[in-house]
Amino acid sequence: MDHKTPSFPTRIALALSALFRVLFDPQFASAVERIRRGGVPISAETVQAGAEKPAPPPPLLKEAGPDAALQLLGLLQQEGRFIDFIEEDVAGYADAEIGAAARLVHDGCRRVLREHLTIEPVREETEGSRVTLERGFDATSVRVTGNVVGEPPFHGVVTHRGWRAGGVRLPKLAVGHDVTVLASAEVEL
């Protein structure tokens, strides 16, 4: 198989789409974390009695366009100064100063998410509730953790309800709008 190195713009688009998928897809985030640690992603279906089964064929992948991710990132910057906060070296600041800045970033980013996304819990049960996952449960919306042995049904406790986007309402973009400009430079005269 020919493994061509992606171009710099392709890597930027990949990084941004991965960022948002990691934020909104806990199972994907778990797989990324395992890969980051040098392992191979393992789903609940590939674990039996503590041993790995042969990996299923890789899923068919589709190219994700970067426009919506870049647009959302631009909105987070505009309202919450998200990029400014993340790019700032906070090592020299006191915890109180970081906390005050985080409150402003949190308020602005929360406003953007509520205006442009409908975010709903994946599970309706409260965290700490006991649940049973029957055979055939949706492994893309529920990540099984802990001592995963055998086949479903699995009995456990909801440690995180999960989040899913129930709706997306991003503003329409003008033709020719450069979504890679996340925040315009400012020049005071």
Higher pLDDT, 19 or 123: 123
* Residue carrying the six token digits 């005071």: 188
* Residue carrying the six token digits 């406003």: 111
Give the domain ranges of the chain.
9-50+123-161, 65-121+176-189
Backbone phi and psi for residue 162, each to the nearest 5 degrees, phi listed first: 80, 165
Alpha-carbon 114 to chain mean position:
16
Query: So what's the pLDDT on residue 49?
Result: 45
For residue 85, the surrounding DSSP H or E stretch is helix 82-87
Are the CB atoms for 77 and 109 separated by under 8 Å? no
Q: What is the DSSP letter of 170?
A: P
Q: pTM of this prediction?
A: 0.61
User: Which of 189, 171, 175 shows the shortest CA–CA distance to 79?
Assistant: 171
Residue 170 confidence class, pLDDT cut points 50, 70, 90: very high
